Structure 1
Amino acid sequence: MKIVVTGGLGFIGSHTVVELQNEGFEVVVIDNLYNSSESVLDGIFNITGKRPIFEKMDLRDKGSVQQFFKKHQDISGVIHFAASKAVGESVGNPLLYYENNLNSLVYILQELKELPSANFIFSSSCTVYGQAEKMPITENASIQTAMSPYGNTKQIGEEIIIDTAKVTSINSILLRYFNPIGAHPSAEIGELPLGVPQNLVPFITQTAIGLREKLSVFGSDYPTPDGTAVRDYIHVVDLAKAHVIALKRLLNKKNIDKVETFNLGTGTGSSVLEVIQAFEKVSGQKLNYQIVGRREGDITSAYANTDKANSILGWKTQLSLEDALASAWKWEQKIRS
């Protein structure tokens, strides 16, 4: 079966391509290389022995999307990762986020709705919950006002998919990730931010290896045990495997509703300082960090209730925070050597 993975050379996308190929799927990757590198194809090949079909393309170009679907008419499913994803950047450049994250989604769905049946997995986010009122967060938690344009694009994206499902043959699963971290255990692929990292763990590893002088911890006055923000950090390999399980659910017509939603996390919240301490333990490196003011768009706490994914998908995380941090450090050392 041929599966399209948009943003397939990005962090989560590349790990999902590996898991799909390991399960025997034929994969077509779409990526515009805005925040990724074509060299990731080599890493995927080194792990799986197969190189996915690669189409360099900007999904904001409607004509290119139409041409792609004319060329690839035997598609069994689409996993849609392609999106800008940094909370802080979205606050400073909202129009980039609305254009990139929403237009590309609409153009893909416009093509999928012409197919007799279509399966669509959407890369969503726990940011759709805003600052949830109760922890851990269930899929039934009320959707709060988004704290950032990034979070808002995920909320709107989900609404677009739900509205489209009502009048088309598209079946979808919305996967709401918490905080993906880590790298493939082979250290062939991992998180490769271009420029200054927007996420905690690559900033930690770049600081530890000497690329960054110092790590900034945004805020120490949150109402949490140590005053720093709490997140649910999930190993990217666990996350990638969930996409394959969700895709098989659609392909095997096991879905109960046209659109289903699942949280993907560990179910445990860790503070920024706890992540730093865990990294220092697994790496043996002392991190240079400083406490600074809060960052606009950040929430206090978010960690998942994963009961639904555990029971319905039969999926649960296998890897720990320490596993993820150790793999991220191994990856950082490899790419800087």
Structure 2
Amino acid sequence: MPKILVTGGCGYIGSHTLVDLIKNGYDVISVDNNSRSNPAILKGVERITGKTVKNYKVDLCNFDDTAAIFQENEDIRGIIHFAAYKAVGESVEKPLMYFENNLVSLINLLKCVQEFGTPWFVFSSSCTVYGNPDQIPVTEETPPKPAESPYGYTKQMGEQILGEFQKAAGTQTILLRYFNPVGAHPSIEIGEMPIGRPQNLVPAITQTAIGKLPKMVVYGDDYPTRDGSCVRDFIHVSDIAHAHTLAIKYLEEGRNRGGCEVFNLGTGNGVTVLEAIKAFEKVSGARLNYEIGPRRPGDVVAIYANNDRAKGRLGWDPQMTIDDMMATAWKWEVKLKEDETFFAAMNSELN
């Protein structure tokens, strides 16, 4: 089977995608500098799949180190590019850091694609490219509005770079615009491991419930939504991961229509932040200590997906409910607390 390079393979979605690729017969390698990920997660991948994944601890902003991976693995056929900074709030505070990291790493990868003739490229994009859309659900044809954050701009720019590069180089490219990945692998062997204070909703919920955080903040309850909080399309991370495998198969089988296709990855259901909290409380039996705070710069009011194209062309059909998402996220948080000693020892061994 073809060899696939997964960038950010020690990260949240990257590690789940490694599992899905391996289970579907692909040969995989990872590149992750572990600046915002935990290398111990690859042991979880190994426990699920029985396969040891080689990770190159390389900063993709360094071209020579990046090119060395391709020199050592001349049989790489596809790249799934996750590696990027992703915290909306942080990007507002540190825009240059986001532009440099997210765009230079992409450009370096594409230089390698050109030099080594890698035919397939799958890009981890985001619903943030739509900005605050005029209508929801959004389709792939919904005109992008100005991004609400530098992070969102890096995804818009990344898509533009890939579109122009594809025209010149002929690489077959898929842009996967996903919405809000949450939950953990059903085995509870891998899940989200944010470094520092979590920037995303569900790990903030679970860390508050387990006592790592004293309380969490809901940013705004005065939005024009059914309960005043922002509306998001939460999608289980394993469903997201499987879409990347289907995207690679789609390119491998030559079914793509044109050189650069776009797919939304969401459930098609909008859930408010307060509804997500209620879903968590229901499946966990825990009462969450939260308060209402002011709106957060960079947040979109409401967005959820029309996923008809991904279902029709990729054959993708998300399986997990919001209860599944919250239940697996909570089980993972409990496991992290129980296994703190294990992860500390594993990190010491890996480093």
TM band (smaller chain) = over 0.9
Q: Which moved more, 1:43-52 or 1:113-122?
A: 113-122
Q: Distance in 1 between matches of 2:68 and 2:118?
A: 19
Amino acid at match of 1:326: A
Q: Distance in 2 between matches of 1:114 and 1:8?
A: 23
Q: Distance in 2 between matches of 1:160 and 1:33?
A: 25
User: 1:67-108: per-residue Cα shift (whole Å, max 9, x none)?
Assistant: 111111111100000000010000000111001100000000
Q: Per the alignment, in what secondary structure is the counterpart of residue 113 of structure 1? A: helix
Amino acid at match of 1:329: W
- Give the structure 1 partner of residue 349 of structure 2: none
- Give the structure 2 partner of residue 160 of structure 1: 161
Q: Distance in 2 between matches of 1:269 and 1:161?
A: 29
What is the Cα deviation at residue 294 of structure 1? Answer: 0.2
- Give the structure 2 partner of residue 209 of structure 1: 210
- Give the structure 2 partner of residue 41 of structure 1: 42
Q: Does 1:238 align with 2:239?
A: yes
Are the equivalent residues in 1 in contact too, given 2:78–2:118 (CA < 8 A)?
A: no
Are the equivalent residues in 2 in contact too, given 1:183–1:190 (CA < 8 A)?
A: yes
User: 1:284-307: per-residue Cα shift (whole Å, max 9, x none)?
Assistant: 000000000000000100100001
- Could you state the TM-score of these two structures normalised by the residue count of structure 2? 0.95
- Give the structure 2 partner of residue 27 of structure 1: 28
Aligned pairs (5 A) from 1:64-103: 64-103=65-104
Aligned pairs (5 A) from 1:48-59: 48-59=49-60
Are the equivalent residues in 1 in contact too, given 2:311–2:317 (CA < 8 A)?
A: yes
Q: Does 1:280 align with 2:296?
A: no
Q: Does 1:9 align with 2:10?
A: yes
Task: Provide runs of 4+ in structure 1 moved above 4 Å.
Answer: none
Q: Distance in 1 between matches of 2:118 and 2:155?
A: 24
- Could you state the TM-score of these two structures normalised by the residue count of structure 1? 0.99
Q: Per the alignment, in what secondary structure is the counterpart of residue 166 of structure 1? A: helix
Are the equivalent residues in 2 in contact too, given 1:116–1:169 (CA < 8 A)?
A: no
Q: Does 1:265 align with 2:274?
A: no
Q: Distance in 2 between matches of 1:113 and 1:170?
A: 8
**Can you give the 5+ residue segments of structure 2 that lack an aligned partner in the other structure?**
339-351
Q: What value does the CA root-mean-square deviation take over the aligned residues?
A: 0.7
Amino acid at match of 1:168: A
Are the equivalent residues in 2 in contact too, given 1:113–1:169 (CA < 8 A)?
A: no
User: 1:195-217: per-residue Cα shift (whole Å, max 9, x none)?
Assistant: 10000000000000011111100
Amino acid at match of 1:199: N
Are the equivalent residues in 2 in contact too, given 1:230–1:302 (CA < 8 A)?
A: yes
Are the equivalent residues in 1 in contact too, given 2:76–2:118 (CA < 8 A)?
A: no
Are the equivalent residues in 2 in contact too, given 1:26–1:52 (CA < 8 A)?
A: no
What is the Cα deviation at residue 157 of structure 1? Answer: 0.1
Q: Distance in 2 between matches of 1:317 and 1:125?
A: 17
Q: Which moved more, 1:234-243 or 1:106-115?
A: 106-115
Q: Distance in 1 between matches of 2:40 and 2:66?
A: 23
How many corresponding residue pairs?
337
**Can you give the 5+ residue segments of structure 1 that lack an aligned partner in the other structure?**
none
Q: Per the alignment, in what secondary structure is the counterpart of residue 134 of structure 2? A: coil
